[in-house]
């Protein structure tokens, strides 16, 4: 893999993914990490000072009209090799709410960040992904060629929902799953694959302190899973350790 | 079933459902049909002149801040018996778009109409549904007691997606499916059940002229399916003829 772009890297799983990709024996030549506020991303900045292959790009993913400009910045880094992997990691989770407390603004805001942004960023970066798929025409379908990974959650699995509630988060992630399935079909002729990933229950701001997995444990497994993605996984819903989940 | 409320009844499946429920041997005592513009709903108005049990209520479902007021209008019709069935039928479908043509505004607008509106209307009408569930405490779980039916589509089935595209419509319906599963769990203690329905491919403005089913064929089957819903169907995804679909 020559290049990977990961969104939402100032903390949590995004930062953990950057660390894990930096540590990997075949670390990508370009790791592009996005964050909303570069000044506040202290750990990410420290990492970038130690690792010349880590590029930090600033973007607030709600500014969808800036995606085209952002895509040009990405192009100036990856150049003719294109972008091998787009990892749409950034997301939000409003507080758990039962039906009686659900707010329409929460539903829309969460959908925009967790569903619309990954779809529109993918659309903006498809030219870079296509370039990578063509540039690596002799490589098998997968992250050595071109791949979209959308960070979903088991909470977006309708089949696995046994606790109810969480309307904003669940709807946004089920919707992202649906969009990813369409991407996996629409981009197949371009040799670009797409999957959704569930990171496990991780000790992040979102997962809370009682979660069984550390960020490092989850991200190490995710990187292993990403590195072994192949054509057979296209359009599937995998958890961090590669196990397949139901929609 | 004493009462049913159906949204989006000026044409298409909504109007067809009203006709089919009016024709049914055990037609509900109150059929409340909503539409955005009463003046333009000529066929619905004609039906209301012939059938005293048909009540037309005007509401633009995008006006979520009017739902509480709307719920009071429903209450004034159903009174102490409560509302047995809420049928969230209204929906939109933007033109088919591949990834390269998807627009963020389309994604959000479709999500608001097809997902947020049914969730928020359900929230507003839960007190009426609870009343019906309690009023009919001796009836089995189902439409004789209290039931939410959300009109989804096979296009919202991630498993069944083999054609890709349709980002706005598919994401909105997968999200509605996810929300319905949560409703089926959250409202179980109140003896209110919830399902999603796929109407089949129907000759409506949305389905086009090549669809194999007429509105009457689809709606006749849907009404049969609704009338036979029971506890075992809670939280499931059914098509018009009662066959279960995958998420």
CATH no. for residue B210?
3.40.50.720
Axis crossing angle, helix A67-78 with helix A117-135, rounded to the nearest 10: 30
Minimal CA separation from B217 to chain A, in Å: 29
Structural domain contains residue B246: no
Q: Is B117 helix (H, G, I), strand (E, B) or coil?
A: helix
Structural domain contains residue A102: yes
Structural domain contains residue A56: yes
Interface contact B186-A177, CB threshold 8 A:
no
Structural domain contains residue B158: yes
Q: What is the mean pLDDT of residues B98-127?
A: 97
- The model's confidence at residue A152, banded by pLDDT at 50, 70 and 90, is very high
Q: Which of residues 42-81 of B touch A (CB under 8 A)?
A: 64
CB A7 within 8 A of CB A61: yes
Say how far residue A165 (Cα) sits from the centre of its chain: 24
CB B115 within 8 A of CB B108: no
Structural domain contains residue A247: no
What's the CA gap between A53 and A30, in Å, rounded? 5
- The model's confidence at residue A96, banded by pLDDT at 50, 70 and 90, is confident
Please state the domain count of chain A. Answer: 1
- A217 CB-side CA count, 13 A: 9
- The model's confidence at residue A206, banded by pLDDT at 50, 70 and 90, is confident
The chain-wide mean pLDDT, for chain A, equals: 97
- A159 inside 8 A of chain B by CB: yes
Structural domain contains residue B244: no
CB B128 within 8 A of CB B78: yes
Interface contact B102-A119, CB threshold 8 A:
yes
Structural domain contains residue B212: yes
pTM of the model: 0.98
- The model's confidence at residue A95, banded by pLDDT at 50, 70 and 90, is confident
CB A212 within 8 A of CB A221: no
- Res B194 pLDDT > 80: yes
Query: From residue A73, how far is each of A18, A169, A229, B99 by CA, in Å?
Result: 19, 31, 27, 21
Range of B109's domain? Answer: 3-239
What's the CA gap between A177 and A246, in Å, rounded? 11
pLDDT of residue B164: 97
Q: What is the ipTM of this complex?
A: 0.97
Structural domain contains residue B20: yes
CB B186 within 8 A of CB A164: yes
Q: What percent of chain B has pLDDT over 70?
A: 100
Residue A1: name the closest of A22, A34, A26 by CA. A26
- A181 inside 8 A of chain B by CB: yes
Beta-bridge partner residues of A33: A6, A56
């Amino acid at each position: 893999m020559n290049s990977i772009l990961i969104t939402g890297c100032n903390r949590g799983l995004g930062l953990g993914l950057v660390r894990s990709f930096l540590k990997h024996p075949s670390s990508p030549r370009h790791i592009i990490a996005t964050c909303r506020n570069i000044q506040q991303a202290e750990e990410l900045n420290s990492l970038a000072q130690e690792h010349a292959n880590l590029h930090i790009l600033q973007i607030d993913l709600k500014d969808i009209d800036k995606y085209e400009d952002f895509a040009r910045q990405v192009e100036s880094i990856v150049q003719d090799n294109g972008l091998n992997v787009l990892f749409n990691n950034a997301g939000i989770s409003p507080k758990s709410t039962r039906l009686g407390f659900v707010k329409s603004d929460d539903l829309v805001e969460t959908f925009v960040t967790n569903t619309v942004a990954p779809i529109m960023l993918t659309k903006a970066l498809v030219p870079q992904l296509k370039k990578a798929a063509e540039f690596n025409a002799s490589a098998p379908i997968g992250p050595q060629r071109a791949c979209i990974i959308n960070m979903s959650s088991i909470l977006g699995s309708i089949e696995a929902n046994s606790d109810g509630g969480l309307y904003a988060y669940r709807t946004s992630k089920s919707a992202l799953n649906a969009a990813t399935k369409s991407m996996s079909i629409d981009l197949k002729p371009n040799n670009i694959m797409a999957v959704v990933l569930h990171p496990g229950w991780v000790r992040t701001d979102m997962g809370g302190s009682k979660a069984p997995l550390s960020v490092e444990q989850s991200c190490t497994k995710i990187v292993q899973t990403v590195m072994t993605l192949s054509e057979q996984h296209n359009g599937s819903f995998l958890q961090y350790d590669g196990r397949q989940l139901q929609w």
